[in-house]
Amino acid sequence: MIPIGTGFGLGKIFNITAQTVSRGPDQLKGLLLYGFAFLTMLLGAVFMLMLFYRMWEVIQDGNARTAPGKAVGFLFIPLFNIYWSFQAIWGYAKDYNSFIDRHEFNVPKLPEWLFLTHTILSFTGWLPHIGLFLVLLNYFIGLIMVSKICDAVNALPDI
């Protein structure tokens, strides 16, 4: 979870700082900060995709809505990925909860509302006046969601 939160958090800080610096006489510093923002966000995204693959991998019993590779791969299809993010994120919470019910595991269920909220807020950053607030809110919701995913995956017994 730490690489994901650090990657996205530092990336956002570098991005905001770069926007401020690039307006002044130090445009080269602004470009360097944009580069750092890109690299740290890329790192966070890579770790997030690795987590998505692993979380789908552990609930494969023939009843999951998708395979791990498909869950991650379809997120790269332009426009379709808007629909697919609901399947890969919110759908995971639903499938995980069904998985633990089917196998009668005594582990906590995932809060489906949290996964739905994160997915919806992922598409609201462009809104005027409240977009930045929603991005920041979604960052913290995302951290909670990632923590819940890690706890859920680690709580499953080997089957």
- Considering the entire predicted model, what is its pTM? 0.82
Of the candidates 88, 147, 137, the residue with the CA atom closest to the CA atom of residue 117: 137
Segment (H or E) for 156? none
Judge whether 79 lies within some domain.
yes
Which tokens in the block code for residue 19? 């926007």
* 91 inside domain: yes
Q: How many CB atoms lie within 10 A of CB 79?
A: 7
The confidence score (pLDDT) of residue 43 equals 84
Kindly state whether residue 1 falls inside one of the protein's structural domains: no
Predicted pLDDT at 106: 94
- The domain of 124 spans 44-155
Q: What is the pLDDT of residue 55?
A: 97
HSE-CB for 136 with a 13 A CA cutoff: 6
Q: Answer whether residue 19 is part of any domain.
A: no
- In a domain, residue 49? The reply is yes
Instruction: Report the distance separating Cα 78 and Cα 101, nearest Å.
Output: 34
Residue 150 within any structural domain of the chain: yes
Structural domains of the chain, count: 1
**Segments of the chain with pLDDT less than 50:** 1-2
Specify the pLDDT at position 127: 83
In a domain, 76, yes or no: yes
Does any domain span residue 22? no
d(CA 73, CA 115): 19
